[in-house]
Structure 1
Amino acid sequence: MTSVIALAGLALEQNRDLDRARGHLRSGLLRSMLAGDVELASDVSAEMWGPLPADPVRVVIADLPAATADRMTEFLELRVDDRDGRLFFGRAGDSVVVICEDEDRGIADEVAGEFEVPAGVSDAGPLADLARLHEQSLRSVERARETAPAVVWFDDISRQGVLAFLARTDARAVARATLEPLLEYDRAQGTSLLDTTRTWLEHGGQFDATAQELGVHRHTVRSRIALAEKLLARDLSGFHARADLWAALLATE
């Protein structure tokens, strides 16, 4: 009995060592693919697990808490076996990176739901363009962490446009300073100058459309915008000034 227990313990330790070695191999192959060497990763993966996912692929990045790292790895290994290798994953720091075929993109919801972690999903694209897809997934998981656990798709945030990212940068402080004259005036006078300016920008600077939405006369809108220009010390008749002000509004919202 003692000998059996000793042999079982040795076998378990060897299995742990093998799992660690397999994990290191996966991480190394992932770095190789991100560096552009997909051929090497394809050859090794074919020998170890099966072929890499076929185009088009998506990249899924999910947080990997230390407490659930082993369980998540086992979870993904089982998914790899179910798909004859046509799903690849590797660890990258405190995250796990999953490369899957487009039709298998539901793996993101599985991981996020099972382990209650944020996950980001890239657009679909060729495996040869993995570095770009990886960058998209990074941006997506950053957004997902704000409402974790959640799954965020890059397509959803890309539709919001580049300016939407300003709210998640140091531009917020600059934006608040830009809008402060309007905010201070509204606080002191009990007016809605900032709201009028926002609505006016939303309607492309059209006074009639803005007046209709606000339920006021167009001359009232004109006078408010003129006052806003005076307080901001800028001419809002040009595109650049309007774009800058709109960006400030987005950054503070």
Structure 2
Amino acid sequence: MYAAYAGCMPATLSALLAHRPFLLRRLTAAPENPVVIAWAHSSDLADPSPFLVEGQMLLTTGGQFSADGSAAFASQYVARLQAAGVVALGFGTEVVREGTPGELVEACTRLGMPLVEVPYQTPFIAIARWVAEVQSTEARSRVDWALTTQRSVSLAALAGGGLAAAVRTTASGLGCDIAVFDPDAEVSTADSALSAASRRAFASIRPDVQSLLQNQRRARVDMEIGGMHVSLQTLGGSRRLRGVLALAKAGPFDAAELSVVTTLIALAEVSLERSQDQRMSLRALMVQLFELLRDGRVAAVRKALGDIPTGLPEKRFVVVSLRAEETDPALRDTLERRASDRRNRLFVVEHGDAFVLLADERRWPELRRLLTARQVRAGVSGVVDWDSLDAGLVQAARSLDRAGEHEIVDFATLVSSSFFGLLSATAVADVARSRLHSLLSTAEGRQRLFEATVWLRHNGQWEPAARELGIHRHSLRSRLEGVERALGLSLDRFQDRAELWALLAAIDMASGDVPAPAPGSP
């Protein structure tokens, strides 16, 4: 008679009424939503509310109604039960009185309290035991379900599917949507399982994710967004967070579901930590592969990358050069994580004193926005192909030499603004210093070079140049004859003037060695 209801579900009023041995009879209309019974307890007190807990079903024989059977008392009694969180009332007949009081039926109907009639032959203890056994069965069922789901999640990850498979299995088992945010608070689409509705919800919580990542502490935050319960959980240890796991569900997660989430968190942390270690261990290999790319062995590199988590541009790409010492670890981690997703078609490598990116032409605008937001100094080549990779490296390096703080300089812009901008290359500057050494080695010689610069800026016109320098034009002509003799040039010839201008431009742009005249100088 006391056997538990044969179903793996919480104890509900409808299941209790359906348990034939109890012969219970519903006296009020069935509620719209299922009534879950957490416990059943009996009392004939006029006010048992101090001794009740939320979610309880109260059983009574009606002793409290014998002295005062008024409708007012019944209404007050039911109202007190509702305030205490009672979800249903069972009235036992033939113990104190026959039948259920009409005023109680009327009060329960009016106030929306489910009321059932319990016949004499059904002891209250039997109902209490039934509820306890159903709850116990449900608890065991939830534990079994949690263990089975945890195993499925683990196997999905270990079978080669990695974090993405573990996320999909968890989302299916919990009936929820899951997003994995990276350290930049961006959703990792490869590792997430999202519906269109949840994409919008998760997009709105990005500031919350950023706040959690900035705090660099392990934390969990729960919130309600658009009718969805969203739970955020950081991944990784304090001061080394690897991301944030976000889950969205119609209602809060119960204990069994949270145990599955805990399993996913552990797998995600291991996976992200392993990915980080793998990226660092591949840095030396990237250098070797880069040299193969420079040797033109692109096909061999593509074949090698079949087993390595990194991308590579297609046929046309730009070369981006950053100073290695200026590239902070967080930015480097961001770029290497992007490169590890082959869909981004990005290759990153440390080359000499530069951190070099090979960015697919179609993906470069998006990457440029990232670099701009991070306020980096960078040089960018024109669009090149694999046959002109080395030319792209030179172009990116020259552009980087001309870039100011937080500035991204394109080679095309550099060339269009001034051909002489290219003369700042170290090799050219060294040649210029060597060629001008005899003049640069003395203060008088440096002054003569400055005067030559002024004269050339005035297109070789003696009068305006002398006026600017504050000397007579014959004096200026005499001084520049000394420059001609020192360099073996004839400034009457255009090509010699152009050579001198190129030498001076290289020095100006490389190191600013040519001084302005001292105040009051002749």
Which TM-score band applies after superposition, normalised by the shorter structure? 0.5 to 0.7
| SS of structure 1 residue aligned to 2:379 | strand
- Show the 5 A alignment for 1:113-124: 113-114=373-374, 116-124=375-383
Q: Alignment partner for residue 249 of structure 1, among 495, 504, 517?
A: 504
Cα distance change of structure 1 residues 78 and 226 upon mapping to structure 2, 3 Å threshold: closer
- Summarize deviations over 1:133-152 as a string: whole Å, max 9, x none: 122222332333xx333322
Q: Report the Cα offset of residue 96 of structure 1.
A: 2.4
Cα distance change of structure 1 residues 163 and 89 upon mapping to structure 2, 3 Å threshold: closer
Distance (Å, rounded) in 1 between the aligned partners of 2:478 and 2:339: 62
- Show the 5 A alignment for 1:164-175: 164-165=424-425, 168-169=429-430, 171-172=432-433, 175=436
Q: Alignment partner for residue 20 of structure 1, among 277, 280, 284?
A: 280
Partner of 1:135: 394
- Residue identity opposite 2:439 in structure 1: T
- Residue identity opposite 1:171 in structure 2: A
Contact 1:80-1:86 at 8 Å conserved across structures: no
Contact 1:49-1:84 at 8 Å conserved across structures: no
Unpaired runs of 5+ residues, structure 2, are 1-262, 513-522
- Show the 5 A alignment for 1:46-57: 48=308, 52-57=312-317
- Summarize deviations over 1:98-121 as a string: whole Å, max 9, x none: 11123433424523642x442221
Partner of 1:190: none
Cα distance change of structure 1 residues 75 and 229 upon mapping to structure 2, 3 Å threshold: closer
| SS of structure 2 residue aligned to 1:169 | helix
Partner of 2:491: 236
Higher mean C-alpha displacement, 94-103 vs 66-75:
66-75
Partner of 1:84: 343
Contact 2:317-2:383 at 8 Å conserved across structures: yes
Cα distance change of structure 1 residues 244 and 132 upon mapping to structure 2, 3 Å threshold: closer
Cα distance change of structure 1 residues 183 and 120 upon mapping to structure 2, 3 Å threshold: closer
Contact 1:50-1:85 at 8 Å conserved across structures: no
Partner of 2:328: 68
| Identity of matched residues, % | 22
| SS of structure 2 residue aligned to 1:90 | strand
Cα distance change of structure 1 residues 15 and 165 upon mapping to structure 2, 3 Å threshold: closer
Cα distance change of structure 1 residues 126 and 23 upon mapping to structure 2, 3 Å threshold: same
Contact 1:109-1:151 at 8 Å conserved across structures: no
Distance (Å, rounded) in 2 between the aligned partners of 1:131 and 1:194: 36
Distance (Å, rounded) in 2 between the aligned partners of 1:160 and 1:27: 32
- Summarize deviations over 1:80-108 as a string: whole Å, max 9, x none: 63x71422222335542211123433424
Unpaired runs of 5+ residues, structure 1, are 186-192
Q: Report the Cα offset of residue 30 of structure 1.
A: 1.8
Q: What root-mean-square deviation, in Å, do the aligned CA atoms of Structure 1 and Structure 2 show?
A: 4.1
| SS of structure 2 residue aligned to 1:84 | helix
Cα distance change of structure 1 residues 63 and 112 upon mapping to structure 2, 3 Å threshold: farther
Residue 227, structure 1, aligned to residue 484, structure 2 = no
Structure showing the higher helix proportion among its residues: 1
- Residue identity opposite 2:481 in structure 1: K
Partner of 1:189: none
Cα distance change of structure 1 residues 149 and 108 upon mapping to structure 2, 3 Å threshold: same
Residue 126, structure 1, aligned to residue 381, structure 2 = no
- Residue identity opposite 1:249 in structure 2: L
Partner of 1:153: 410
Q: Report the Cα offset of residue 38 of structure 1.
A: 0.9
- Summarize deviations over 1:159-207 as a string: whole Å, max 9, x none: 423545478437348647537547658xxxxxxx955x435434554x4
TM-score with structure 2 setting the length:
0.36
Residue 102, structure 1, aligned to residue 361, structure 2 = yes
Residue 43, structure 1, aligned to residue 315, structure 2 = no
Residues paired across the two proteins, number: 230
Distance (Å, rounded) in 1 between the aligned partners of 2:457 and 2:447: 22
- Summarize deviations over 1:40-82 as a string: whole Å, max 9, x none: 122233554587323321111213449833552234423663x
Q: Report the Cα offset of residue 33 of structure 1.
A: 0.5
Cα distance change of structure 1 residues 37 and 181 upon mapping to structure 2, 3 Å threshold: same
